[in-house]
Structure 1
Amino acid sequence: MLPLNSFDEWSPLKEVVVGSALNYASHERELSFDLFFHDNLVRSEWYYPRLSVAGDSEKEGTRGAADRLAIKQRYVDELNEDIEGIVKTLESLSVTVHRPLDVDQATARVQTPAWSASVVPPLNIRDNTLILGDEIIETPPMIRSRYFETQFLTPVFTEYFRRGARWTVMPRPLMTDASFDRSYANASAGGPTEPIADPQPSPYDVGFEMMFDGAQCLRLGRDIVVNVSNDNHAMACDWLERHVEGRFRIHRVYRLSDSHIDSMVLALRPGTLLVRSAEVAEQLPEPLRTWDLIIPPAPESNDFPQYDDDDIVLTSLFIDLNVLSVSPDTVLVNEACPELIRTLERHRFTVVPVRHRHRRLFGGGFHCFTLDTVRDGGVEDYLG
């Protein structure tokens, strides 16, 4: 294992963590889940009524608990096959792959003084960790089910710490209903088909809190572009800006998406961006608007598996823009995207096709499933 070193999204990749989906069993529809996936729960092709939390749960004294929506085992099995394919592909490209701890089958729920939630495996590990150079920053989660997700990465982080890495944990939110700024959800065109209920009071209410994902950041050497869509993000960005002052420059963009930036725009190499649309590019910091833009053809619904009415879809059709760069000229792309592959090849990229079938059911692409810990690049100044 090499010392931690990752400043950007494209420099030659040496070491990476690939997530785990073992014992992924269900989704839990509750306030934090609905807010996080707000844009896609209604913009997908199916109708998902919000689950009632009244009735039996209140009789049992567990007000605020939510039912769990089981995921068909064949989807989980195929997801695990595809993840192993990602691992083998990266290893064939001379990348060292690390893995998190798996969720034990007996671990069904976690609990804090304020709430309890089901457990989600450490699959989309890009989200709750931000690597900035030689520092691991665990970010404050936005979904209760993922509150302890970075614990599954402890063995990996410990080894990097022993090799000199800094290791920081941002303030952890209490995550009561009142902690969430719902302004984006209330203002946007997406969202659950039934209104998100008023927050329930809790003795642990402290008002809005920091909530933020590493996937809201585009890393460009000395510069970090951060998507801010609500007060939770803004507080966390304030913390990050103070924490990295003198080492990195923070550039805020506002409401580029509900949260994550990496299916909207990715930097494939210095001077080249993969962008969802020209409208997205117009919202980026001015220096980035001069970079070459690759805007692939819009995906179509028939590019994806067709699911049953009770299968909950968590991403937009643009999830396959979530590619992973192995070097400035080599990119891992879903093999189900021939138009995206041809577009990148026309721009002189070497494309490595990899299978990933159920990305819309599990909320992530290759960039989401991976956390690059060692790249050759340094703290370069790409924006001037």
Structure 2
Amino acid sequence: MSDTAFEFGAHSDFGTLREVIVGIADGLTLPPFGKDLSHYNDELREALVANGNKPLDIKAHFPERWEQTAEQMAGVAATYERFGVKVHRVRPYTAEETRHLEDLQQGWSQLYTADPVFVIGKHYMEVSIRRAYRRKEVYPLRDMVLPMIEDDPDAHYVAMPPAAPWTPSGEGPGPFLEGGDILIHGQDIFVGEGELCSNVAGIAWLKRYIERWGYKVHAVPIKGPILHALGIMCLLREGLLMAHLPSLAEGLPEPLKDWDVIEITEDEMNAHATVGVSLDDKHYMIDPRFNRVMDELGKRGIEPVPTPCDAIGFWGGAIRCITLPVKRDAT
């Protein structure tokens, strides 16, 4: 361990952000179309179907979109650095890693670092994602994060049980737990549960693991084929959140019922308005397309930080998805 210990951990969704890992677009190759990819937009679904039963090389098929995606990811990283956040970029896959689990689902991606792993407090968790082609993402992230954990004597590292092999990919008993479903507010942890995201078995594992440290896990049932809870809701500061309320099957969870809500439309939800990132409780990174939402943020004392991510969003995610916070304050 170094003389000055690294203070690993993410303790909220809106405390001051200190250090992150941002994904990369290198080698992006998507699987043949299946139910677990039904959240994709029409153009992308049609391209996957037309490609037949083989993976689609995105840089070759969508060269301009791929270039725009890589440029916007670099822009997100530059915005973090402008606000004093330390940025790491994940390394590309090895040849062996790209082939891992290809018998279950072909393809590989390293866009969205926030899904296959997650940090709650000082706990680094390799979780269990539905789409088999994405489960290999833990390996490059592990290489980057393990030295941080080893440098912090209070950090914990756990890998949850892998999902049972199943065809088609994304179905079966799991357990499934995805970082894109997890929101942190102090000791309260909110986890989306739905047909395309985390399931009951995955949430049960998280409860058994994390609640011994004083956390309380709240399942948040999602209505319809929505990929993640972060696509519906985000926590902006104490007492203020943004959400598409009709997509919450049981409404807001009890600890959030009295919070002020910036309500978004279905179109704003589908365009990933809630999938920005809070740099602290006064600054929120968001695509500049969302003029109405930015006005609502400004009315409540939160400064929007315009950060283009429409190209990133074409593949089904946005700023928060490509960002894994490894150091974020509680407030």
- Shorter-chain TM-score: which interval? 0.7 to 0.9
1:324 aligns with 2:272: no
The amino acid across from 1:29 in the alignment is P
Deviation of the 1:140 alpha carbon: 0.8
Shift in Å, 1:282: 5.8
Q: Which residue, out of 360, 366, 382, partners 2:319?
A: 366
Amino acid at match of 1:370: T
> Contact 1:324/1:366 (CA < 8 Å) preserved in 2?
yes
How far did residue 212 of structure 1 move? 1.9
Q: Distance in 1 between matches of 2:174 and 2:274?
A: 30
Q: 1 CA distance for matches of 2:266 and 2:194? A: 24
TM-score, normalised via structure 1 length: 0.75
Equivalenced residues, count: 319
The structure number with the bigger radius of gyration is: 1
Aligned partner of residue 14 in structure 1, secondary structure: strand
SS in 2 for 1:212: coil
1:143 aligns with 2:131: yes
Measured in 2, the distance between the counterparts of 1:89 and 1:53 equals 36
1:80 aligns with 2:78: no
**5 Å matches for 1:168-247?**
168-177=158-167, 180-181=170-171, 208-230=173-195, 233-247=199-213
Gaps (5+ residues) in structure 2? Answer: none
Aligned equivalent of 2:240: 272
Match of 1:92 among 72, 76, 82: 82
Q: Which whole-Å CA distance do the structure 2 matches of 1:163 and 1:108 have between them?
A: 26
In the alignment, the residues of structure 2 paired with residue 47 and residue 117 of structure 1 have an alpha-carbon distance, to the nearest angstrom, of 16
Give the conservation status (yes or no) of the 8 Å contact 1:178–1:208: no
What's 2:22 paired with? 18
Q: Which amino acid aligns with 1:4?
A: F
The structural deviation recorded for 1:362 is 1.7
Q: Which residue of 1 aligns with 2:219?
A: 252
Partner of 1:146: helix, strand, or coil?
Answer: helix
> Contact 1:114/1:175 (CA < 8 Å) preserved in 2?
no
The CA deviation string for residues 308-347 of structure 1, in whole angstroms up to 9 with x for no partner, is xxxxxxxx63313211000011111112222222221121
SS across alignment from 1:156: helix
Structure 1 residue 38 corresponds to structure 2 residue 38: yes
Question: Is contact 1:29–1:69 with CA below 8 Å preserved after alignment?
Answer: yes
Instruction: Give the SS at the match of 1:101.
Output: coil
Deviation at 1:117, TM superposition (A): 1.6
- In 2, distance between residues paired with 1:13 and 1:70? 34
Q: Is the 8 A contact 1:15 1:372 kept in 2?
A: yes
Give distance in 1, aligned partners of 2:247 and 2:164: 36
Q: Moved runs in structure 1, 4+ residues, more than 6 A?
A: none
Q: 2:307 aligns with which of 343, 354, 359?
A: 354
C-alpha distance in structure 1 between counterparts of 2:17 and 2:45, whole Å = 40
Change (3 A) 1:280 1:237: closer
Sort the Cα spacing of 1:85 and 1:250 in 2 relative to 1 into closer, same or farther, 3 A: same
Q: 1:209-238 CA distances to partner (integer Å, 9 max, x unpaired)? A: 212201111111101111122597111111
Query: Is the 1:107–1:119 contact (alpha carbons within 8 Å) kept by the matching residues of 2?
Result: no
> Structure 1's 347 and 78: CA in aligned 2 closer, same or farther, altered over 3 A?
same
Q: Compared with structure 1, are the counterparts of its residues 180 and 102 closer, same or farther at alpha carbon in structure 2 (3 Å cutoff)?
A: closer
Partners in 1 of 2:103 and 2:284 — Cα distance?
A: 43
Q: CA deviation at 1:162?
A: 1.2
Alpha-carbon distance change, 110 to 163 in structure 1, aligned in 2, over 3 angstroms = same
Checking the alignment, whether the CA contact within 8 Å between 2:72 and 2:311 is kept in structure 1 is: no
TM-score normalised by length of structure 2: 0.86
Give the CA RMSD over aligned residues.
2.8
Residue 131 (structure 1) aligned to one of 119, 134, 147: 119
Q: Taking structure 1 as reference, are residues 279 and 95 closer, same or farther at Cα in structure 2, changes over 3 Å only? A: same
Distance 1:282 1:113 in 2: 37
Specify the code of the residue in structure 1 equivalent to 2:322. F
Q: In the TM superposition, what is the alpha-carbon distance from 1:370 to its structure 2 partner?
A: 0.4
Residues 175, 162 of structure 1: alpha-carbon distance in 2 compared, 3 angstrom cutoff = same
Q: Percent identity?
A: 22
- What's the CA shift for 1:113? 8.8
Give the drift of 1:155.
2.7
- Give the equivalent residue in structure 1 for 2:288: 335
Name the residue aligned to 1:152.
Answer: 140
Post-superposition CA distance 1:117-139 (Å, at most 9, x none): 2222x211111112111110011
What residue is the counterpart of 1:287 in the other structure? 255
- Three-state SS of the structure 1 residue aligned to 2:304 is strand
Tell me what 1:48 maps to: 46
Q: Is the 8 A contact 2:14 2:279 kept in 1?
A: yes
- Greater shift, 108-117 or 272-281, is seen at 108-117
Shift of 1:243: 0.7
CA contact (8 A) 2:12 2:329 kept: no
Q: Distance in 1 between matches of 2:263 and 2:31?
A: 35
1:119 aligns with 2:86: no
* CA displacement, residues 338-375 of structure 1 (integer Å, 9 cap, x when unaligned): 22222211211111111223133221111111011111
